[in-house]
């Protein structure tokens, strides 16, 4: 028995020593860097490889575009290449490519990958003021235009909205002391340019101007940028327009609501252009129950007022609010009344379809005109219930997503009280009552 035990111990010790001595499998990643426009290999490209947060490793492609990394641990890697004058074939105007994902495993420790690059384009020019003098410190923003449809929900995420289109910002640069700017690298495409002159926090009559000299993106000249083009002389002359004043009265100021801290309640007013026709107006002023907003260009505006406690600097929990749409022309608009009402709370519940596992969800209620009315990443309770405590007047689009998942899910059915809400879009006011019932399918499986 003792002899048998000794043999077993020796066998186990030998097996353990062999396991310890067995080296971990080493992997390799190799491939080619190619110019997909010419079909030629790219020599001299700097190839970068990285796993997680570890320090990246680099190598250079040879004249045939070939590169190789050896002695790699078996794990996932991100790999990308750079070369002057070229960008990743899948790079957008808004951001650089994060590279290709390559997974090395113990059963497949070697991988081959092709990295495609293409010639990049550039746009450059000069920004001058209304008198033709170059201006420093102007933000020049590259825009892409998209058609607005109901499911994309009006101008969500847009820098500008005009008519049937929304304009999304892709890149932004600032002019130098000569008024010059350059935007690169860019893939080919159709773009628009906007110049914004910001002078501290004070009102300026120099408006957002769209290339070459328009106050409206719909009147701007589109820029057709071909692959590899270096488009110069795209100059913008800022428009100067004083605008008119809109003023009126706020009523009531909710004297029945007192601050728990004993402080005085604070009421603010803001104006938002429904159709982007230039720079925002000057800073609205409120004195007692009177308000005034200067410098509005012709167009339709949303006027909003909100009452909050002095400590609520970011308007997280307004006590009362008002909203109305005002048409502005070339003459001052007076006697506008903003009738305040209590901001309601809205109770709701996420309901999963039969067969779906109940999962903690995050609710987003995206406002129609600006981010001030948006409520994002509001978690549900374990039973799927939630309460929206800050529901300013306006239209909202409801989406949900599982915690830890970045992809938003469109509700399959949404009801406010007993009424079905098409596309999950509803109008909120002081008469809005719940519950808000959101029916969804099965969330994506967690990895």
C-alpha–C-alpha distance, residues 190 and 236, integer Å: 17
Question: Given this model, what pLDDT does residue 12 score?
Answer: 54
Question: Given this model, what pLDDT does residue 311 score?
Answer: 77
Tokens of 73: 């641990």
What architecture (CATH level 2) is domain 26-119? Sandwich (2.60)
Q: Give which of 201, 271, 210 is closest to 243, Cα–Cα.
A: 271
Q: Give pLDDT tens digits for 182-241.
A: 999 999 999 999 998 865 444 567 788 999 999 889 899 999 999 999 999 999 999 988
Question: Is residue 12 exposed (0-12), middle (13-18) or buried (19+ Cβ within 10 Å)?
Answer: exposed
Identical fold between 244-342 and 346-440: yes
Q: Could you confirm whether domain 121-237 is CATH 2.40.30.110?
A: no
- Backbone φ, ψ for residue 405 (5° rounding): -115, 130
Structural element, H or E, at residue 13: helix 2-21
The pLDDT profile of the chain, 447 residues, written as one tens digit per residue, is 545 445 455 555 545 454 444 455 589 999 999 999 999 999 999 999 999 888 999 999 999 999 999 999 999 999 999 999 999 998 888 777 778 899 999 999 999 999 999 999 999 999 999 899 999 999 999 999 988 764 444 444 567 878 788 888 899 999 999 999 999 999 999 999 999 886 544 456 778 899 999 988 989 999 999 999 999 999 999 998 888 999 999 987 555 445 555 667 778 888 877 765 555 566 788 888 899 998 888 888 888 888 887 777 766 678 888 888 899 999 999 999 999 888 888 899 999 999 888 888 888 887 765 545 667 778 899 889 998 877 888 888 888 888 766 566 778 888 998 899 887 888 888 788 889 999 988 876 654
Q: For the chain, what are the domain ranges?
A: 26-119, 121-237, 244-342, 346-440
Q: Give pLDDT tens digits for 264-291.
A: 777 888 887 776 555 556 678 888 889 9
Q: Give pLDDT tens digits for 98-109.
A: 788 999 999 999
Q: Give which of 177, 185, 82 is closest to 124, Cα–Cα.
A: 185
C-alpha–C-alpha distance, residues 328 and 305, integer Å: 18
SS3 19: helix
Q: Could you confirm whether domain 346-440 is CATH 3.40.250.10?
A: no
Q: Which fold has domain 244-342?
A: Immunoglobulin-like (2.60.40)
């Amino acid at each position: 028995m003792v002899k048998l035990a000794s043999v077993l111990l020796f066998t186990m010790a030998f097996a353990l020593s062999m396991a310890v001595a067995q080296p971990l499998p080493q992997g390799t990643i190799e491939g080619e860097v190619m110019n997909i426009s010419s079909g030629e290999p790219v020599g001299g490209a700097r190839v970068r490889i990285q796993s997680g947060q570890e320090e990246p490793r680099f190598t250079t492609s040879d004249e045939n575009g070939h590169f190789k990394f050896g002695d790699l641990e078996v794990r996932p890697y991100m790999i990308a290449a750079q070369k002057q004058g070229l960008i990743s074939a899948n790079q957008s105007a808004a951001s650089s490519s994060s590279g290709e994902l390559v997974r090395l495993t113990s059963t497949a420790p070697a991988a081959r990958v092709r990295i495609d690059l293409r010639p990049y384009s550039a746009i450059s020019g000069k920004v001058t003021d209304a008198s033709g003098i170059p201006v420093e410190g102007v933000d020049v923003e590259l825009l892409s235009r998209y058609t607005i449809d109901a499911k994309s929900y009006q101008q969500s995420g847009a820098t500008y909205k005009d008519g049937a289109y929304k304009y999304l910002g892709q890149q932004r640069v600032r002019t130098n002391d000569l008024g010059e700017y350059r935007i690169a690298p860019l893939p080919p495409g159709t773009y628009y340019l906007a110049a914004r002159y910001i002078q501290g926090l004070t009102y300026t009559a120099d408006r957002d101007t769209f290339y070459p000299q328009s106050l409206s993106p719909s009147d701007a000249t589109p820029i057709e940028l071909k692959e590899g083009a270096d488009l110069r002389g795209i100059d913008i002359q800022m428009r100067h327009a004083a605008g008119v004043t809109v003023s009126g009265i706020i009523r009531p100021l909710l004297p029945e609501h007192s601050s728990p801290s004993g402080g005085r309640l604070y009421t603010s007013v803001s104006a938002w252009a429904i159709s982007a026709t230039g720079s925002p107006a000057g800073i609205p002023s409120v004195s007692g129950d009177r308000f005034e907003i200067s410098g509005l260009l012709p167009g339709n505006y949303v006027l909003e007022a909100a009452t909050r406690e002095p400590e609520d600097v970011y308007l997280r929990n307004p006590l009362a609010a008002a909203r109305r749409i005002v048409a502005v022309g070339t003459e001052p608009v007076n006697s506008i009344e903003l009738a305040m009402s209590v901001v309601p709370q809205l109770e709701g519940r996420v309901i999963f379809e039969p067969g779906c596992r109940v999962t903690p969800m995050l609710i987003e209620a995206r406002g129609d005109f600006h981010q001030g009315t948006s409520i994002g990443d509001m978690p549900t309770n374990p039973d799927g219930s939630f309460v929206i405590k800050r529901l300013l007047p306006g239209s909202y689009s409801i989406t949900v997503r599982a915690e830890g998942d970045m992809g938003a899910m469109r509700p399959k059915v949404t009801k406010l009280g007993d009424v079905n809400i098409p596309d999950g879009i509803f109008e909120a006011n002081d008469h809005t009552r719940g519950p808000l019932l959101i029916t969804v399918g099965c969330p994506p499986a967690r990895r």
